[in-house]
Chains A and B, each alone.
Chain A
Amino acid sequence: MNGEGRSLCIVGAGVAGLSAAKAARAAAPSANVTLITQEGSLPYWRPDLSKRFLATSDAFPTLLTSVPALAHARISLFDGWAVEGIDLTRGQLLGRRGPLSFDQLVLAPGAVSAQIVVPGAELPGVRRLRTLADARELRSRLLVATRVVVIGGGLIGMEIAASARRLGKAVSIVERAPHILSRCFPAMLAAEVGAYHAKLGVELHLATGVEAFLGLETVNGVMTTAGQFAADLVIVATGARPDTRLAATAGIQCNDGIIVDEHCRTSADGVWAAGDATRVRGAGGDYRLENWRHADEQGQVAGANAAGADVGYTPVPWFWSDQGELHLQGCGTFCADAEEVVRPGPDGCSRIVFQRRAGMLSAAFCLSLRNALAKDLPFLARLVAQRTPVSAAMLADPAVPLKTIWREHATARARAESPH
């Protein structure tokens, strides 16, 4: 596609959809680029919803773009527009406002909150957090709540707990696993995060399962395997599932995610996908990633390729989390039983844990109290991306800046790759 007056539609205006639209515009200057979202808002900074947005009473969402910026990029935004089906034969999106024709389609519908199947799950006062509308509703309930129970001790659950504590609420976390953050963070760092929350006054109930939400008109408690907890607000943060409804109904191959290759191609010609909704199958393996940077970068690839480019993509997983004064980062693929090297920080709390496989750096995780480790942070993902062969002694020595290790390695590699 050279883009001459052709129509490129993007369904979903999260960061993946927005990045796809911008990349499509850059690759095909004369195509018609349309970004469609069922939400009634400009694309916004979703990671903030569980953090500052919840904890600040007058917060506005941070927007990722503006009406003039979209106009300047000639991207049409159809907001409040629910796509109800895809007619692949005719190349049309179906919805109540009539069909919309496309030549190329990018699907970026994101994820939906995982459901928890116990009695009382539909009670008012049992909330989830995914969209800006969810966050607004949750915040108005949070402001008047007194006892909050968060179900799930993953990143989002811990962020919500920190925000609720900041508003002075009594907060309990109920987590099924024996420790928090068990899917994404080394146990040693997770324990430190748990201790920080406990010090703030959050009650942690680990290895505890939810049996029912109690109450008649609205929720007033949670029955768990460790007994009953009072609550006037329950927030279910037990993860997300890829939103494959549109794609699956249209006959596009899905399996816990819309299946794409490393070029973001789906099983249907002319249909691409990016972001939390996808499962990547390619030379790099078979994986799903739910993080912001991945959605941004994969969206760019999908948009550019839909507009006629031929770009491949192998991500280095990277996430961050802000919880009160703690800043967490992780990059690379977490492995619960990898060899670990610890680099202590300047205070008792901050530190970095490196994971190594076969002598190579495979992942790095950081816990930083405020900006304590800011100087080292830019190099975590860079060192992991390079699969740096670096000695455990150097990684463990806080007197050797990561910048030095990175620069030396980059120089050595440039020299090795140079033809002279």
Chain B
Amino acid sequence: MSWVSVCQAADIDSEDVYRFDHEGRSYAIYHAESGFFATADICTHEHAHLSAGLVIGDVIECPLHQGRFHIPSGRALSPPACVNLKTYTVKVESGTLFVDLDR
């Protein structure tokens, strides 16, 4: 386990996404319909930051080519996204959002 604090959970509006850079990598931190989640920030299709995309319910849509992923599982939902997204575990403690970057 390698918990890294990201931000105050209340700072991310519902149905929104926040870009978190840590040790040279980008992560997308979501406040989706089912709660808080984290995935890799770079779309598995082509180089685009998902954190610039649109959250609809539990789905993130890539801003460049409209590929879609299921946020909680990282599953690719619609082409051109075909490869699943890496997901990370998150937790909220005393209002602070943490992400486990150890896997």
* Chain A residues within CB distance 8 Å of chain B: 15, 19, 45, 47, 52, 62-65, 292-293, 296, 318, 320, 322, 327, 371, 374-375, 377-379, 403
Chain B: minimal CB distance from A167 (Å)? 19
Cβ-defined contact, B66 with A374, below 8 A:
no
- Give every chain A residue within 8 A of B45 (Cβ-Cβ): 62
Cβ-defined contact, B63 with A377, below 8 A:
yes
Cβ-defined contact, B46 with A296, below 8 A:
no
Cβ-defined contact, A371 with B49, below 8 A:
yes
Cβ-defined contact, A62 with B80, below 8 A:
yes
The residue of chain B having its C-beta at the shortest distance from the C-beta of A15 within the complex is: B79
How long is the Cα–Cα vector from A387 to B53 in the complex, in angstroms? 21
Chain B: minimal CB distance from A8 (Å)? 21
Given A371-B49, A371-B52, are A45 and B64 also a contact pair (CB < 8 Å)? no
8 Å CB contacts to A: which residues of B48-85?
Answer: 48-49, 52-54, 61, 63-66, 79-80, 82
- Give every chain B residue within 8 A of A292 (Cβ-Cβ): 80
The residue of chain A having its C-beta at the shortest distance from the C-beta of B61 within the complex is: A378
Cβ-defined contact, B82 with A374, below 8 A:
no
The residue of chain A having its C-beta at the shortest distance from the C-beta of B60 within the complex is: A378
Cβ-defined contact, B82 with A320, below 8 A:
no
Cβ-defined contact, B79 with A375, below 8 A:
no
Cβ-defined contact, A374 with B65, below 8 A:
no
Cβ-defined contact, A320 with B52, below 8 A:
no
Q: Which of B48, B66, B79, B80 is packed against the most chain A CB atoms within 10 Å?
A: B79
- Give every chain A residue within 8 A of B79 (Cβ-Cβ): 15, 19, 45, 64, 296
Cβ-defined contact, A371 with B48, below 8 A:
yes
Given A45-B80, A62-B82, A65-B82, are A374 and B46 also a contact pair (CB < 8 Å)? no
- Give every chain A residue within 8 A of B53 (Cβ-Cβ): 374, 378
- Give every chain B residue within 8 A of A19 (Cβ-Cβ): 79
- Give every chain B residue within 8 A of A327 (Cβ-Cβ): 64
Cβ-defined contact, B66 with A293, below 8 A:
yes
The residue of chain A having its C-beta at the shortest distance from the C-beta of B45 within the complex is: A62
Chain A: minimal CB distance from B34 (Å)? 20
Cβ-defined contact, A374 with B63, below 8 A:
yes
- Give every chain A residue within 8 A of B54 (Cβ-Cβ): 378-379, 403
Cβ-defined contact, A375 with B52, below 8 A:
yes
Cβ-defined contact, A374 with B80, below 8 A:
no
How long is the Cα–Cα vector from A373 to B80 in the complex, in angstroms? 20
Given A52-B46, A371-B48, A371-B52, are A320 and B80 also a contact pair (CB < 8 Å)? no
How long is the Cα–Cα vector from A318 to B65 in the complex, in angstroms? 10
How long is the Cα–Cα vector from A52 to B80 in the complex, in angstroms? 14
Chain A: minimal CB distance from B7 (Å)? 18
- Give every chain B residue within 8 A of A63 (Cβ-Cβ): 82
Jot down 29 A-B pairs with beta carbons below 8 A, ordered by A: A15-B79, A45-B79, A47-B80, A62-B80, A62-B82, A63-B82, A64-B79, A64-B80, A64-B82, A65-B82, A296-B79, A327-B64, A371-B49, A371-B63, A374-B48, A374-B49, A374-B53, A374-B63, A374-B64, A375-B52, A375-B63, A377-B52, A377-B63, A377-B64, A378-B53, A378-B54, A378-B63, A378-B66, A379-B54
Chain B: minimal CB distance from A271 (Å)? 25
- Give every chain B residue within 8 A of A45 (Cβ-Cβ): 79-80
